[in-house]
Amino acid sequence: MAGLDFETVYQEHKGNIWSLVSRYVFTAEDREDLFQEVFINVHRALPRFRGESAVGTWLYRIAVNTAVNQLKKRDRHRKVIEVLSGLRLIEAEEPAAGAGFSLERPLARLSPRQRMVVTLSDIEEKKLEEIAALMALPLGTVKSTLHRAREILKKELSAYDRL
């Protein structure tokens, strides 16, 4: 699609992408890394954009994929370090008494895909059909993933209630 330049795409969509990124990861460093990674991928994919969908949808799909892949990569690195060092880097199954509440901790129990489905559905308030299209998943998979993710999150949050 002619006339679609990176600077315009960045200026028009930076806010939406930041919104998604900052609801998916929570430290300033993670957010900035992910945000930059999304736009680097957009820059690489821009020559192949054929205009079959709206720019916003196309961009959002890249953001979703980048975010899920980045978290998967981080999980793999963490597992390798755990295996090599013999240490467990993930927090204990139950939050320790007196441990401060963090936004990250309950979501850390979810897989990157579950986490994205919850983010898109319950935080960004996207329709399930839209999520299925964005994540290239069957609608049934989205529904079951969301159901399972909510169960895990509620159980995790109830652990804080007992402290």
Partner 1 sequence: MIGYDEYLGRIRDGKGTADFAALRRSIGGKIIARQKARARRAAAGVLALFLISAAAYFACPAVMTEGGQLYAYVFEPDISDGPVLDYVFSD
Residue 62 burial (10 A CB sphere; 0-12, 13-18, 19+)? buried
Contacts of partner 1 in 16-55 (CB under 8 A)? 18-19, 22-23, 26, 28, 31-32, 35-36, 39-40, 43
Q: Choose between 6 and 138: whose C-beta lies nearer to partner 1.
A: 6
Report d(CA 116, CA 23) in Å as an integer. Answer: 9
Binding mask 94-133 for partner 1 (x = CB under 8 A): -------x-x--x---------------xx----------
Taking the CB of residue 74, how many other CB atoms lie within 10 A of it? Answer: 14
Report d(CA 11, CA 9) in Å as an integer. Answer: 6
Give least dist CB 37 to partner 1, A: 9
Contact yes or no for 24/116 (Cβ under 8 A): yes
Residues near partner 1, by CB under 8 A: 10, 14, 18-19, 22-23, 26, 28, 31-32, 35-36, 39-40, 43, 101, 103, 106, 122-123, 150, 153-154, 157, 160-161
